[in-house]
Amino acid sequence: MNPAQIPHQRLHHQNISNHQFSAPVEIVSWLGALQGQDYPGAKWSLGLRLPHITETEVEQAILDKKIVRSWLMRGTLHLVAAEDLRWMLELLRERNIAGARSRHKQLKLDEDTFKSSQKVLHKILKKENALERKDIFEHFEKANITLEGNRGYHILWRAAHDGVICFGPMRGKQPTYVLLDEWVPEGEELDLDEALAELARRYFQARGPATLEDFAWWSSLTLTDARAGLEAIRSKLQEMVFDEQSYWMFDSGAPTSEKDAYLLSSFDEYLLGYTDRSTVLDHENAKKVQPGHSGTFRPTIVIDGQVAGTWKQTLKKNTVTIETSPFTKFTKAQSKAIAEAAKRYGQYLGKEAVLV
């Protein structure tokens, strides 16, 4: 294998070009977790990997509590299989909390504040089952828990890391919060060595070829812990060395070329699952995908494994209009492939896709 084949292997292992699963929870479990701060985009990341599924079916898997949304890797929102949430929280929480400690100090958030706010959460969510953020904040203020300076967000963030809450059902466009023990009463328990090995297995099976540094960045583990996880499964992995850099994967049976086009959501794991994205996105165009320093990414068009442009949508009752911004002019074959990708996206939404 040569470096040019890395994108095609990733398309295959991420189940974008290779469709071996039929249910949303199977995809989430295979990936370990997938980024979820853009909720509609996260759902489409599942739909992209399940050719005949609709947004309604993805949403139902979340309502059925098979998939849960919470803060996990790097302290950001992810979708994760319900049975995996607890051991992942146990593995990652201390690292994430330590990373936020200076910000919490700036906001004058101490352990007493977190404990008192979590008591309020237990009380109100026991009674109400699911509440929107604004309703929770009203209860915090009644309990004299001040919320200025984005304190409220960090209080909820910490409660999720402490296993008190997770995200519940949507109310319109607004998420709700629920007690984790009531939403997901049970989950697998793993000791440290088992958890490191399992997270490494999920990462490299779904994202290989990838580097140790990719895994450490994605997971938010220390490089030492990430290496321990990799070493635990190393005998099952293949190693490829390019420019003195080791890439790891489970097998090399994927196709070496992929001419189809894909419309990826803004935070899809194909791009966001790695700290080094140069194999699929050249430096010249990187700022077109991530303008500024806000951490916001634009939805991307992938052709032949490479990010070839960005896209945006306009939703109406019965249609979705898709406007593309290519990095270079698309060929007729590429335009035809993009039209097919747009049609698939429309089917997922239950709308007619209009490509402009």
| Closest to 284 in 3D by CA, of 328, 318, 238, 339 | 328
Q: Which residue has the higher pLDDT, 4 or 230?
A: 230
**DSSP one-letter string for 90-133:** HHHHHHHHHHHHHHHHHTT--HHHHHHHHHHHHHHHHHHS-EEH
Quote the pLDDT of residue 258.
64
The domain ranges of the chain are 261-355
Radius of gyration of the chain, Cα coordinates, nearest whole angstrom = 21
Per-residue pLDDT tens digits for 230-287: 999 999 999 999 989 999 999 867 676 667 999 999 999 999 999 999 999 999 999 9
Q: Residue 209, preceding bond cis, omega within 30 degrees?
A: yes
Per-residue pLDDT tens digits for 54-84: 999 999 999 999 999 999 999 999 999 999 9
84, 199 in Cβ contact below 8 A?
Answer: no
User: Whole-number mean pLDDT of the chain?
Assistant: 95
Quote the pLDDT of residue 293.
72
179, 165 in Cβ contact below 8 A?
Answer: yes
Per-residue pLDDT tens digits for 283-332: 999 999 998 776 789 999 999 999 999 999 999 999 999 999 999 999 99
Percentage of residues in the chain having pLDDT higher than 70: 98
236, 173 in Cβ contact below 8 A?
Answer: no
Per-residue pLDDT tens digits for 168-216: 999 999 999 999 999 998 888 999 999 999 999 999 999 999 999 999 9
Least confident of 18-32, 91-105, 241-255: 241-255
Quote the pLDDT of residue 254.
67
In DSSP terms, which residues pair with 306 in a beta bridge? 303
Mean pLDDT of 124-148: 96
Tokens 């079916």, located at residue: 57
| CA-to-CA dists, residue 269 to 241, 266, 300, 331, angstroms | 23, 9, 12, 26
Phi and psi at residue 176, in whole multiples of 5°? -115, 165
